[in-house]
Amino acid sequence: MADVEQNAAVPDGSSTGSDAVNGTAGRFVSSAEGTALAYGSLLLMALLPIFFGALRSVGCSKSKVTDSYLETLQMKECAKTMHVKIFSQEYINLLLSMYFFVLGVLALSHTMSPFMCRVFPANVPNKQYQLLFTQGSGEGKEEIVNYEFDTKDLICLGISSVVGVWYVLKKHWIANNLFGLAFALNGVELLHLNNVSTGCILLGGLFVYDVFWVFGTNVMVTVAKSFEAPIKLVFPQDLLEKGLDASNFAMLGLGDIVIPGIFIALLLRFDVSLKKNTRTYFYTSFLAYIFGLGLTIFVMHTFKHAQPALLYLVPACIGFPVLLALFKGELTEMFSAVFLEWRFMHETLQEMRAQQSNTSMFTQKKMMEKQRDRIKKTCKELLLYV
């Protein structure tokens, strides 16, 4: 879906970089120390959302990927491919800036929430709020939006809004990275795969997609250099020479983080479902990702040419855990398990039984209807994967 780009264009649209991974050329030649710092920083920034997003995905195992997230991904792809040759780049960048401002503020706020819960002073009152929209009246009243939040959420939203304004006004690479990391972490946490077979099919298809668009066309180059959007992580190679005003960037697309990341998070949940108190498959796939991304950077730096990261990440992230499962005799269990949703249904039924004794008959009826609808939806989705 994306590629690693060295000496990319500046996120604000100015282009001062040299020899790019996807084939562009320039004049600036970065120092060995600056190049090593940029590559190492990109590697570290790629690992953080995968590791913490995977851990948070376990606690978020009851959450299902919603249509809004799918629509978001579809709109990103649409903006990156279809509209590039239809509308002026200036108008597209303006639209994307506002679009990603809203998404970035929400994503960064959600990312900061667990940290804020830990550092929020105990002596400060944490007031609860509720945003409720309903349709109809009486017994036919239906909830459209029912969102509960508190003072900590408002603080996170305020801080995220400051970062958002900074990004819109300055397009600074640090603000770009904050939004990019938030998008990647939320993607790994919230986008769930139901089984390993589905994950292998997804990664296999995107493997072909990435190779074609990097080696077969120049679409990746155009997207990376033209659009001002936090769809990539960047780090300046001339940071040591120019400080925070550096303008010669190395780049890593978010697709090279989120796509393998949701598969690694799936393996972590598979580890949890085995109930062996080990994280063997998670750590194996995580190390495989480090190996694959390191190999991508090495080949890119050696041949000075565009390298689709999924070309190296997909075989590593799938091959290493599969070989481990084959060695441990758990290959069949790995590919046949639809563990996440069944555990969700079991926990849902337990919650229903636990709450029945503490609620009124009317509340019980409403609660059971809502839980029954969730279980029906889950069962329908399970039929697609079994």
CA distances for 53 relative to 48, 112, 358, angstroms:
8, 12, 34
Tokens read off for 131: 């945003």
Residue 297 and residue 35: Cα distance in Å, rounded? Answer: 11
303 C-beta neighbours (distance < 10 Å), count: 10
Cα separation, 280 vs 271, whole angstroms: 7
Catalytic residue among 3, 210, 238, 271: 210
- Residues with Cβ within 8 Å of residue 282, at least 6 apart in sequence: 54, 264, 267, 268, 271
DSSP state of 359: S
Residue by residue, what is the 3-state secondary structure of 269-327?
HHHHHHCCCCCHHHHHHHHHHHHHHHHHHHHHHHHCCCEECHHHHHHHHHHHHHHHHHH
What gap in Å lies between CA 246 and CA 236, rounded to an integer? Answer: 6
Cα gap 65→93, rounded to integer Å: 28
User: Is residue 210 flagged as an active site residue?
Assistant: yes
Which residues, including other chains, have CB under 8 Å from residue 360's CB and lie 6 or more apart? none
Count of all residues that appear for the chain in the document: 386
Q: Which residues contact 288 (CB under 8 A, 6 or more apart)?
A: 316, 317, 319, 320, 321
Asked if 317 and 292 touch (Cβ cutoff 8 Å), the reply is yes
- Residues with Cβ within 8 Å of 21's Cβ and at least 6 positions away in sequence, in order, are 3, 4, 5, 6, 7, 8, 251, 300, 304, 305, 306, 307
Q: Which of 3, 153, 238, 256 is catalytic?
A: 256
Q: Which residues are catalytic?
A: 210, 256
